[in-house]
């Protein structure tokens, strides 16, 4: 049985290593020894998302002078700690970047890609390798992040985006790409569809020590999608992995199935229709927004002829609007169900009742009108955890009114206003929004299945249904309780022979 240690690495005499020299350099890396007979020591370092759910950034040592970075995400919410934002810790690249030969991006969510500007500022010169849809989405996401965190000066933003575009290297799904090939070793990577958002991938990484002829496969899950995610095919487990670095966001939960959650979504909307209130849906611009639009189109389509069919759906987020447009351009990556709807003349992301709100003045006028209207409207606005963005204006105006409803469809991290509303709202509590104490009288609903993350069963299936199961699993991207529960579920399914750390 292999042993796993997260202690600082020391190469020991007699060990077959992916490395041969450079012992001092690996001192900061955790060490994972794989293989009973064919040993290889993996050196892995986490610059985020080891103990929390945000800031994904994993560094893998390839040889004595080179390393590979998987994701470079922003730390958010409670993971950031008290005054971290003020001190700039959120954006920190506190590791040398000169030895990084490539950044592989699993997907474009900000907690996986948001530190790229600071990686470039730190002097990173290598490529940003990602799937084709991710390459289309990334500049839009980074432009938004850059404007918010650095500057709104057009020339600077344009210059920066040109730099990002120059670094992008598209790797088609299911295609090997060799990163390193020397007399001693070969390293190659492959992306597979992860079903989380368009463009999302899990990364297979083969490490071959040519001298010892030992070869190991590492799989970095990134964020894995749930089956029945609108627009996306469900992720398939890999053929094999020796080491699996697995996300654990929903490691302690099971989602509602698609039929249940659709019925609940419909019930929430019908109740709001009776109340004459607004349904506010805080949603992430990328992925969740498009999924919920897809589902709303379906519900409104099925109720053709009823008063529900004419309810307006207001997308009040310029970023989500732009992303939705790109999603429409990326139809070749939609799943079969979505494509068959298109073939039947439906327009899941561009239906008649869908209206986009872009300008800030329009947004303010809309909030004003809706808070008095007494008529049902469905509003989708960011940010997904209510930490900022246009949803905050709506919440400030409408949380105190019991006619309205806040519907959460995504994960609410500890320390975010979204989590507080979810937790204290049903007891008639309050929340602080932009420093203002706001009483919660509106109805609070949560529907779990639109999480875009696999639940416990999905995560276990991903690990256990491989043809050749991993001998070691490293859990990342989860709160401690989720990790403990997932670890137990993995042991129950796979037996005690797998080392889980």
Residues making contact with Zn ion (CB under 5 A): 109, 223
Find the shortest distance in angstroms from Cβ 353 to Zn ion: 28
C-alpha 1/C-alpha 312 separation (Å) is 59
- Smallest gap from Cβ 1 to Zn ion, in A, equals 33
Beta partners for 354? 313
Closest CA to 249 of 491, 501, 446, 477: 477
Phi-psi region of 81 (alpha: psi -120 to 50; beta: other; left: phi over 0): left
- The minimum distance between CB 477 and Zn ion, in angstroms, equals 9
Closer residue to Zn ion in complex, CB, 410/425: 410
Q: Please identify, using beta-carbon distances, which residue of 144 and 223 lies nearer to Zn ion.
A: 223
Q: How far apart are CA 200 and CA 404, in angstroms?
A: 34
- Comparing CA positions, the residue from 59, 80, 160, 71 lying closest to residue 113 is 71
Nearer to Zn ion, 29 or 462 (CB): 462
Nearest to Zn ion of 114, 417 (CB atom): 114
* Cβ-Cβ contacts under 8 Å for 268 (sequence gap 6 or more): 279, 405, 407, 445, 447
Q: Which is nearer to Zn ion, 223 or 291 (CB)?
A: 223
CB of 307 to Zn ion, least distance (A): 36
Whether the CB-CB separation of 357 and 366 falls below 8 Å is answered with yes
Q: Least distance (Å) from Zn ion to the CB of residue 223?
A: 4
Residue 173 token pair? 């799904």
Residue closer to Zn ion (CB basis): 11 or 78: 78
Q: How far apart are CA 451 and CA 456, in angstroms?
A: 12
Instruction: Select 250 or 394, whichever has its Cβ closest to Zn ion.
Output: 250
| DSSP classification of residue 427 | G
The least CB distance from residue 383 to Zn ion, in Å, is: 14
Diameter over CA atoms, the chain: 76
Least Å distance between CB 109 and Zn ion?
4
Backbone φ, ψ for residue 186 (5° rounding): -130, 140
46 vs 109 by CB, closer to Zn ion:
109
Residue 491 tokens, joined: 């042991």
CB of 74 to Zn ion, least distance (A): 12
Which residue from 168, 222, 196 is spatially nearest to 291, judged by alpha carbons?
A: 196
Q: How many Cβ atoms from other residues are within 10 Å of residue 234's Cβ?
A: 17
């Amino acid at each position: 049985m292999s042993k796993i240690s997260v202690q600082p690495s020391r190469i020991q005499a007699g060990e077959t290593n992916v490395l041969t020299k450079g012992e001092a350099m690996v001192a900061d890396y955790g060490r994972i020894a794989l293989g009973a007979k064919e040993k290889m020591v993996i050196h892995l370092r986490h610059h985020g998302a080891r103990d929390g759910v945000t800031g994904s950034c994993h560094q893998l040592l390839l040889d004595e002078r080179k390393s590979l970075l998987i994701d470079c995400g922003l730390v958010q919410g409670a993971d950031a700690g008290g005054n971290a934002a003020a001190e700039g810790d959120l954006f920190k690249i506190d590791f040398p970047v000169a030895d990084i030969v490539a950044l592989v991006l699993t997907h474009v969510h900000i907690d996986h890609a948001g530190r790229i500007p600071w990686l470039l500022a730190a002097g990173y010169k290598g490529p940003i390798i990602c799937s084709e849809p991710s390459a289309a989405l990334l500049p839009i996401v980074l432009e938004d992040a850059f404007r918010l965190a650095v500057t709104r000066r057009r020339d600077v933003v344009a210059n920066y985006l040109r730099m990002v575009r120059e670094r992008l290297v598209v790797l088609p799904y299911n295609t090997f790409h060799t990163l390193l090939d020397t007399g001693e070793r070969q390293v190659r990577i492959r992306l597979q569809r992860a079903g989380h958002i368009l463009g999302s991938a899990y990364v297979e990484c083969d490490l071959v020590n040519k001298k010892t002829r030992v070869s190991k496969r590492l799989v970095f899950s990134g964020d894995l999608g749930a089956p029945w995610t609108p627009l996306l095919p469900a992720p398939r487990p890999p053929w094999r992995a020796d080491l699996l670095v697995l996300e654990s966001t929903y490691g302690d939960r099971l989602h509602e199935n698609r039929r249940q959650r659709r019925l609940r979504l419909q019930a929430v909307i019908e109740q709001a229709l009776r109340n004459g209130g607004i349904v506010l849906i805080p949603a992430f611009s990328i992925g969740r927004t498009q999924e919920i639009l897809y589902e709303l189109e379906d519900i409104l389509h099925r109720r053709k002829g009823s008063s529900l069919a004419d309810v307006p759906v207001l997308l009040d987020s310029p970023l989500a609007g732009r992303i939705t447009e790109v999603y429409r351009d990326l139809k070749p990556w939609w799943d079969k169900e979505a494509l068959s709807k298109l073939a039947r003349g439906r327009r899941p992301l561009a239906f008649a009742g869908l209206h986009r709100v872009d300008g800030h003045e329009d947004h303010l006028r809309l909030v004003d009108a809706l808070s008095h209207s007494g008529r049902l409207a469905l509003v989708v606005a960011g940010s997904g955890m209510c930490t900022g963005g246009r949803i905050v204006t709506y919440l400030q105006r409408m949380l105190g009114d019991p006619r309205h409803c806040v519907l959460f469809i995504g994960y609410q991290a500890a320390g975010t206003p979204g989590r507080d509303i979810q937790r204290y709202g049903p007891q008639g509590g309050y929340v602080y929004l932009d420093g203002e104490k706001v009483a919660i009288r509106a109805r609070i609903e949560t529907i779990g299945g639109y999480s875009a993350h696999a639940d416990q069963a999905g995560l276990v299936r991903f690990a256990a249904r491989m043809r050749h199961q991993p001998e070691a699993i490293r859990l990342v991207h989860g709160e401690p309780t989720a990790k403990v529960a997932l670890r137990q579920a993995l042991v129950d399914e796979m037996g005690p022979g797998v080392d889980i750390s």
